[in-house]
Every structure is written in C-alpha cells, then in structure tokens.
Amino acid sequence: MSPTIFRERGYRFFFFSREESRMHVHIYCGDGEAKYWLEPSIKLAKNYNLSKGQLAQIERIIEAHYDELTNAWKEHFGD
C-alpha cells in the first residue's frame, strides 16, 4: 500500500506502508522519482533521474507542505 498524500505540479507525494520508521516521503513524476527525509530536517535521501531543478522545486513543495506531510505520516503510521 502506498497512500498518496497530495499531487502538485505533476509530482505525486506518497508513503510506502511497509518501510523504515524514519519519517520520509517519496515523490514520483514521469521523469523519475526521489525520496526525502523529513526528520531531523528535510534532506534528499535518493534520486532516480530527476534534475537539480526538479529536486529544488520538490524541496520547495515539501517545505510548503511540511505540516501536512508530517501529520499524514503520524496519522498513517502512528506517533
């Protein structure tokens, strides 16, 4: 199961239900995908074929939706 948290600018932001416990989000678009840590700070964990410009845009989106992402994580996985 991989619940979508939201979609913005062609990117899908989602979680995998059975993965490591450190808070993070996966991002997918037609060009590739990435994974960002949400704690202790927002940081790129993995990148598969996305440009530096795309990663910068994704990071800005994560920053703008940080509370939504962390609240969704806590709701889905529990505190």
Apex CA 57: angle with CA 34 and CA 72, to 5°? 60
Which pTM does this prediction carry?
0.93
Mean pLDDT of 24-47: 97
Spatial CB neighbours of 47, under 8 Å, sequence gap ≥ 6? 32, 34, 55
Pairing of strands 11-14, 4-8: antiparallel
Q: How confident is the model at residue 1 (pLDDT cuts 50, 70, 90)?
A: low
Q: 3-state class of 21 per DSSP?
A: coil
